[in-house]
Amino acid sequence: MNYYRDLQERVSNLPGIASASLTHNSPAQSLEWTEQVRISGSDSKGSRTDMAMIMPGTFRTMGIDVLKGRNFNWHDDDRAPRVAIVSRNFAQRWFPNGSAIGQQLDIVTEPKWHNLRIVGIVSDASLYDIPKQKQPTVYLPTTQYGDYMGYPELLVQTSGAPATVASELRKTIESLGHEYVASITTIEHEVDRSLLQERLTAMLSAFFGALALLLAAIGLYGLMAYNVTQRTREIGIRMALGAQRASVQRMILNQTLALALLGLAVGLPCAVAASRLIASLLYGVSAFPPTLIAVSAMLLAVAAIAGFIPAWQGMHLDPATVLRSE
């Protein structure tokens, strides 16, 4: 443990390093670790809960705030009483009427992990499946479980570009003579990799949505152009009787927008109902007012553009020519 403490301190003091820590659960990893957890002394079977094994300083590096109680420290070794830190949503779920600090937990699936005293509460975080809602999580200090100490991952928060500190990181770690750097990657890269499927789905959805919008615009334009052709005599008579060209244009545009509004009146309730079914695909996107308002405004704009050309053509009809052709 002294080696890892020394390693963390040396890396933290390097130029360009804002914070450094060691962990056995790298952010955004696809393999989720869960265990059966219950309150000590309870007869219940407990429930599956996300778990993470970390070392002192990891919360700071990962941007997770300690809200109550204390953080892990290097005195939490295998001779000290077993402790745990829980996320805020875990504390709210399991201890809604009192403080979680001082309570004890059992990891049912690990008999040696019983009577873990909760010493802190931290902010909620997504450690595994990023698009998934932040899950209740129990954190354990690696320093109390010697058989888990080997081969940790070093998390580093840099004050500049990560590539500028890579060389010094390698030298510092290898200078201690215990370990070497197998690879270096960024959290941003890992998050992008974990969201690959969602981004591919979003790209395909955007493509087919744009195609549907284009087909709708072409169809609406064709319908209004045909409508103007069928009503050529009516438009000619209106203009011969004194109708202004602008009023003819407004009439055709109003008809176009009326069709678009009718489509929105039918489509919006369906979109709200369907959003519940596809909520898992909407990572970082709200399915309600902001998105729906933006999409509705875009559809109305496309409808106005699609109706403008037929309206412009109708506005420029020559009444005398129209009546003579009839």
Residue 196 tokens, joined:
């690959």
- CA distance linking residue 166 with residue 171, whole number of Å: 9
Judge whether 313 and 253 are in contact, CB under 8 Å.
no
Domain closes at, from 168, 193, 218:
193
Nearest 5°: the CA angle 129, 135, 140 is: 100
Query: Looking at residues 258-272, what average pLDDT do you find?
Result: 81
Residue 218 identity? I
Give the pLDDT band (50/70/90) at residue 26: low
Nearest 5°: the CA angle 235, 236, 240 is: 120
Task: Note the residue count of the chain.
Answer: 326
pLDDT tens digits along 308-326: 777 776 666 666 665 555 5
Residue with the bigger pLDDT between 222 and 94: it is 94
Structural domain span for residue 43: 2-193
With CA atoms as reference, report the closest residue to 270 among 247, 250, 295: 295
Count: domains in the chain: 2
Q: Are residues 142 and 253 in the same domain?
A: no
The reported pLDDT for the residue numbered 104 is: 92
Q: Is the dihedral of CA 17, 18, 24, 26 positive or negative?
A: negative
What is the distance between the terminal CA atoms of the chain, rounded to a whole angstrom? 97
Give the pLDDT band (50/70/90) at residue 119: very high
Query: Looking at residues 232-255, what average pLDDT do you find?
Result: 74
Query: Looking at residues 176-199, what average pLDDT do you find?
Result: 72
Residue 279 identity? A
The reported pLDDT for the residue numbered 30 is: 60
The reported pLDDT for the residue numbered 138 is: 93
Domain closes at, from 133, 163, 193:
193
Q: Are residues 42 and 148 in the same domain?
A: yes
Q: Are residues 80 and 181 in the same domain?
A: yes
Domain closes at, from 133, 167, 193:
193
Indicate the pairing of strand 116-122 with strand 83-87. parallel
For the chain, list the strands marked E by DSSP: 17-23, 34-39, 47-54, 66-69, 83-87, 104-107, 116-122, 137-141, 153-158
Judge whether 19 and 12 are in contact, CB under 8 Å.
yes
CA distances from 202 to 11, 199, 278 (A): 39, 5, 12
Residue 137 tokens, joined:
């999580």
Q: Are residues 178 and 231 in the same domain?
A: no
The reported pLDDT for the residue numbered 120 is: 94
pTM of the predicted structure, to 2 decimals: 0.64
